[in-house]
Amino acid sequence: MSHLGLLHLLQLQSKQRNMCNLTLCVLLFLTCSCSSLSSCPAQCLCETTVVNCVSQNFRSIPQPLPENITELNISGNDISNLNNESFPRPLEHLTHLYVSGSQVEELDSMVFKNLPSLRLLDLSNNRISQFSVEALPRDNKIEALNLSKSLYNYSYVGVFADLFKHSLPKVSHLDLSSNDLVLLPEGMFTGLSDLTVLDLRNNSLVTIRNDTLCNQALKELDLRDNALKVLPNVTLEKFSSIPDLRVRLAGNPWRCDCNIEDMLVWLERHQFVVDRLNLTCTGPAELKNFPLLHLEQSQLSCWSNAGDAMDRALEPSYVFLGMVLALIGVIFLLVLYLNRKGIKRWMYNIRDACRDHMEGYHYRYEINSDPRLANLSLNSDV
């Protein structure tokens, strides 16, 4: 009986210990939960580890933020400047940050130093004119960067170019659509060795240089709705050298003349232009909206040769016009020569008339300047 009692006593103690541990865990959980809830910024909605502060007229990043936050959405506010006070303490678990449409103009150095786990950064629909190369730590883990419609104007494209070359080693998805870009700086994307998706839609790009896209990892390239009229051969070769690349080119004003012949051959040989069936001509007028892949070589007029032919056709006209003008000049000189005496006499008459006129002015001036002569003139008039 004593052994059974002792065993029963040990079992009771074990149960009590387990109950205490369970109670302690519950208390710790409630404490952490209360702590997380209490750190939710005012005017924001916090659900587990997601904080939503959309369109609350914030002028800075709301504080304090929960330590266990994984996603923060502060889009639609009025935060013109992001600086090192925007995230004053480390947020080790924050992976997604949305700052879209918040009037952001400047991103200072080390602004994201306390976000070591950041994977997605959305800065679309802003007016960025300054983006410090040191805004992101060298070992940042950003994989997706949305800069759609975020550039103040196209002349600030160098701000992004410097950023891409030095500060984004892990980016695989990059959105630069709707930024009115005209030309991309040389080697703009060379620092993005892991880039797989590049969105350049709805810009004003007039050409793609051969050294702009040297990313062998690139899989998706969107060039729709730009101002491309033809792609140079070197660019076509560069596209062909990138394995598994898929390109979109619809919505560009393709000029269907002899300069586009090589591109047509390239389109027929390669299948990686996803929307090649939707490519149409915008000029000349007789080929407007005509599909590129249905063009025949005979339809492609070489405008430069036509211009040369026109110049050659006009050469006789230019010669004839020159001869006529020369003849008119000779006749004019001949008329002057035959009437040289009359012209000379006419010039003498003009000279004498001018002299008489000037003498009259001189006489009046002398009378007006000498009172005695003026009185004499008055007496003579009487």
- State the average pLDDT over residues 265-294: 93
Percent of the chain scoring above 90 in pLDDT: 56
Verify that 116 and 227 share a domain, yes or no: yes
Count Cα atoms within 13 angstroms, Cβ side, for 370. 10
- State the average pLDDT over residues 120-128: 96
Q: How far apart are CA 113 and CA 84, in angstroms?
A: 8
How many CB atoms are located within 10 Å of the residue 1 CB? 5
Task: Give 298 or 114, the one with higher predicted confidence.
Answer: 114
Residue 170 has pLDDT above 90, yes or no: yes
Count Cα atoms within 13 angstroms, Cβ side, for 117. 13
Asked if the structure places residue 198 within a domain, the reply is yes
Burial 224-263 (b: 16+ CB within 10 A, else e): bbbebbbbeeebbebbeebeebbbbbbbbebbbbeebeeb
Percent of the chain scoring above 70 in pLDDT: 80
Residue of 98, 51, 105, 93 lying closest to 76 (CA atoms): 98
Report the pLDDT value the prediction gives residue 123, as an integer from 0 to 100: 97
Verify that 173 and 280 share a domain, yes or no: yes
- Three-class secondary structure of residue 283 per DSSP: strand
Q: At what angle do helices 303-338 and 340-369 cross, to 10 degrees?
A: 70
Verify that 112 and 177 share a domain, yes or no: yes
Domain end marker among 307, 330, 360:
307
Residue 154 has pLDDT above 60, yes or no: yes
Verify that 347 and 209 share a domain, yes or no: no
Report the pLDDT value the prediction gives residue 341, as an integer from 0 to 100: 82
End-to-end Cα, the chain, rounded Å: 171
Domain end marker among 289, 307, 325:
307
Number of structural domains in the chain? 2
Q: How far apart are CA 146 and CA 234, in angstroms?
A: 29
Give the CA angle between residues 137, 141, 143 to the nearest 5°: 125
Residue 361 has pLDDT above 80, yes or no: no
Mean residue pLDDT across the chain: 84
Q: How far apart are CA 30 and CA 51, in angstroms?
A: 19
Asked if the structure places residue 23 within a domain, the reply is no
pLDDT tens per residue, range 87-96: 999 999 999 9
Confidence category of residue 360, pLDDT binned at 50, 70, 90: confident
Confidence category of residue 370, pLDDT binned at 50, 70, 90: low
- State the average pLDDT over residues 141-145: 96
Please enumerate in sequence order all residues whose Cβ is within 8 A of that of 94, keeping only pairs 6 or more positions apart, or say none.
Answer: 69, 70, 71, 72, 115, 117, 118
Asked if the structure places residue 109 within a domain, the reply is yes
Asked if the structure places residue 55 within a domain, the reply is yes
Verify that 183 and 281 share a domain, yes or no: yes
pLDDT tens per residue, range 11-70: 655 655 656 455 544 444 444 444 444 579 999 999 999 999 999 999 999 999 999 999
The residues that bridge with 52 in the sheet, in sequence order, are 45, 73
Asked if the structure places residue 14 within a domain, the reply is no
Confidence category of residue 218, pLDDT binned at 50, 70, 90: very high
Verify that 375 and 252 share a domain, yes or no: no
pLDDT tens per residue, range 302-346: 754 444 545 555 556 677 788 889 999 999 888 888 888 888 888
Residue 1 has pLDDT above 80, yes or no: no
Range of the domain at 321: 315-381
Residue 374 has pLDDT above 80, yes or no: no
Confidence category of residue 363, pLDDT binned at 50, 70, 90: low
Task: Give 29 or 282, the one with higher predicted confidence.
Answer: 282
Tokens of 120: 């997605």
Residue 224 has pLDDT above 70, yes or no: yes
Verify that 268 and 348 share a domain, yes or no: no
Confidence category of residue 249, pLDDT binned at 50, 70, 90: very high
60: CATH:
3.80.10.10
